[in-house]
Amino acid sequence: MKIAVAGTGYVGLITGVCLAEMGYDVVCSDIREEKVLLLQSGCAPIFEPGLDSMLKRNLDAGRLLFTTDPELAYKNAELIFIAVGTPENPDGTANLDHVYEAAYTIGLCIDKDSIICTKSTVPVGTNERIKEIIRSVKPAHLEIQTVSTPEFLREGNAMYDFFYGDRIIIGTESEEAAKIVEQVFLPLKIPLIKTDTRSAEMIKYASNAFLATKISFINEIAAICDKVGANIEEVAFGIGKDRRIGPQFLQAGIGYGGSCFPKDTKALVQIAGNVEHQFELLEAVIKINIRQQLLAVQKAKELFGSLEGLRVAVLGLSFKPDTDDIREAASITILKALLAEGASVIAYDPVAISNARRVFGDEIEFTADIQTAISGAELSLIATEWDHIKYLPLEKYVQLMANPVIIDGRNCYSLKDVSKYPITYISIGRSALHPEQAQQHTRPGPNMKGRYDETITSILSD
């Protein structure tokens, strides 16, 4: 069976490479020539553990092809996956331009009966529109069916998730198409859930909204722990032991980011709004997350007063560990706020620097060496829980910072460990350590509170 994939981003590339690894002949198409040239030479344009070797292996085996030529991609294909981006419109709705363009091109190029599976995250009703578009341009004698197959991979664990995911959703009104898609994924032995198209589309949004809700929920509890002297980690452990709740997504921190949760939660609020339902719970989740992303800067302001000229090392740029993706990362919000406050910033990340440089240019210094980042810094602010950061010995902060202060936005260190060192340590939902030393750090600045409020207002209105 020949399979085609439209889009070679995080989802399309992983799908194409992993399907080839399963033994299928796969052609991946993208509109970006530089990306395709890189892929043809065996280099992945994204960082994803395990991807490089699997990509090369399947290119060498001749099962995997990359092209910008849609005819080459879609001719003869029996199954075509649409995995193009669905970014956020300024009003929060999902932008479906890429999806509809891909559908149109597929309709023009196919030359046999085919099944079009949409992996892109799309609002309810989009697969019906995709079918209409393809039908409007395809040769009249051809039959097509559409299937909603939403994607649940986690960046950083994407290869694992393809082969060992929790479930595969197959949403379609065509029994025949469902059977064919089922056969393709059957060897993976992952539970397959067959449902109607609209429910499949909704499952994706509802899943992301629920996970985002868990994160904002624990962050609200953390905010209260901060004030009542409880420890959020003890609390999360205690509630996570309840099997009805579960331990996952109960890590308090500076909020969720990435290419999915922020845009998908906003899109679901809009989807609900379109049918005159105000999704108040999700609106609160989004609002809490915006506040949370700025919490580390707020804590720095409380500690130092003015951040003007303060040497700050921001540790971690990607929205989570093991990816180079910085889309909607908390680090971006933090860096913007620090720059607005006049701080002098150096940022460390093991893999995401080139992506961050595209956003900040020369406004901040970058380093891929964590010790260089913290050397001489007056504040180290942890934004991503990379292992490189979590396992950096605490002595290093003592050795390399004159008066070590850490604001840990991801609760990377245990309070017990930090308490052994002369480090001022502020984390999320846990007691501050050595706050008495904090007095030494205060640097009165002009109209501090007002300026911080202005910064927040301008970042929120971005």
Question: Residue 133, interface with ligand NAD (CB under 6 A)?
Answer: no
Contact track, ligand NAD, 258-297, x by CB under 6 A:
-xx-------------------------------------
- Exactly one of 17, 144, 153, 178 binds ligand NAD (CB under 6 A); that residue is 153
φ, ψ (nearest 5 deg) of residue 295: -60, -40
Give the pair of three-digit tokens for residue 12: 């399309």
Residue owning tokens 């649940």: 152
Question: Residue 29, interface with ligand NAD (CB under 6 A)?
Answer: yes
Question: Based on CB atoms, which residue is closest to ligand NAD, 9 or 404?
Answer: 9
Instruction: Using the rule CB under 6 A, give the single segment among 29-37, 288-296, 309-317, 364-372 that binds ligand NAD.
Output: 29-37
Contact track, ligand NAD, 219-248, x by CB under 6 A:
------------------------------
What's the rounded Cα separation, in Å, for the pair 216 and 285? 6
What is residue 441's DSSP assignment? G
Contact track, ligand NAD, 374-413, x by CB under 6 A:
----------------------------------------
3-class secondary structure, 4: strand
Residue nearest to ligand NAD (CB): 9
Question: Based on CB atoms, which residue is closest to ligand NAD, 119 or 430?
Answer: 119
Q: How far is the CB of 303 from ligand NAD (least distance, A)?
A: 35
Q: How far is the CB of 151 from ligand NAD (least distance, A)?
A: 4
Question: Residue 84, interface with ligand NAD (CB under 6 A)?
Answer: yes
Question: Residue 346, interface with ligand NAD (CB under 6 A)?
Answer: no
Q: How far is the CB of 258 from ligand NAD (least distance, A)?
A: 7
What is residue 78's DSSP assignment? S
Question: Based on CB atoms, which residue is closest to ligand NAD, 208 or 455?
Answer: 208
Question: Residue 16, interface with ligand NAD (CB under 6 A)?
Answer: no
Question: Based on CB atoms, which residue is closest to ligand NAD, 2 or 119?
Answer: 119
Give the pair of three-digit tokens for residue 5: 């994939």
Q: How far is the CB of 117 from ligand NAD (least distance, A)?
A: 12
Q: What count of Cα atoms within 13 Å lies in the side-chain half-sphere of residue 356?
A: 32
Instruction: Using the rule CB under 6 A, give the single segment among 149-157, 178-186, 276-284, 376-384 that binds ligand NAD.
Output: 149-157
Question: Residue 7, interface with ligand NAD (CB under 6 A)?
Answer: yes
Give the pair of three-digit tokens for residue 61: 């085996």
Residue at 48: amino acid letter: E
Question: Residue 11, interface with ligand NAD (CB under 6 A)?
Answer: yes
Contact track, ligand NAD, 93-132, x by CB under 6 A:
-----x--xx--x-------------xxx-----------
The residues pairing with 408 across neighbouring beta strands, listed in sequence order, are: 382
- Exactly one of 6, 170, 329, 334 binds ligand NAD (CB under 6 A); that residue is 6
C-alpha 285: how far from chain center: 16
Helix axes 330-340, 295-304, angle to 10 degrees: 30
Give the pair of three-digit tokens for residue 321: 């560990």
Distances (CA, A) of 462 to 90, 219, 255, 332, 333: 10, 23, 18, 12, 10
- Contact (Cβ atoms closer than 8 angstroms) between residue 429 and residue 225: yes
- Contact (Cβ atoms closer than 8 angstroms) between residue 382 and residue 389: yes
Contact track, ligand NAD, 32-71, x by CB under 6 A:
x--x------------------------------------
Which residues contact residue 457 at a Cβ distance below 8 angstroms, ignoring those fewer than 6 apart? none
φ, ψ (nearest 5 deg) of residue 142: -90, 145
What's the rounded Cα separation, in Å, for the pair 231 and 38? 48
What's the rounded Cα separation, in Å, for the pair 95 and 159? 27
- Exactly one of 21, 30, 328, 408 binds ligand NAD (CB under 6 A); that residue is 30
Instruction: Using the rule CB under 6 A, give the single segment among 10-18, 179-187, 277-285, 336-344 that binds ligand NAD.
Output: 10-18
Q: How far is the CB of 103 from ligand NAD (least distance, A)?
A: 9
What's the rounded Cα separation, in Å, for the pair 315 and 318? 10
225 is catalytic: no
Distances (CA, A) of 138 to 28, 113, 281: 20, 10, 43
406: nearest Cα among 391, 388, 394:
394
CA-based radius of gyration for the chain: 24
118: nearest Cα among 226, 23, 203:
203
Residues noted as catalytic = 260
Residues found near ligand NAD in the complex (CB under 6 A): 6-12, 29-32, 35, 83-86, 98, 101-102, 105, 119-121, 151, 153, 155, 259-260
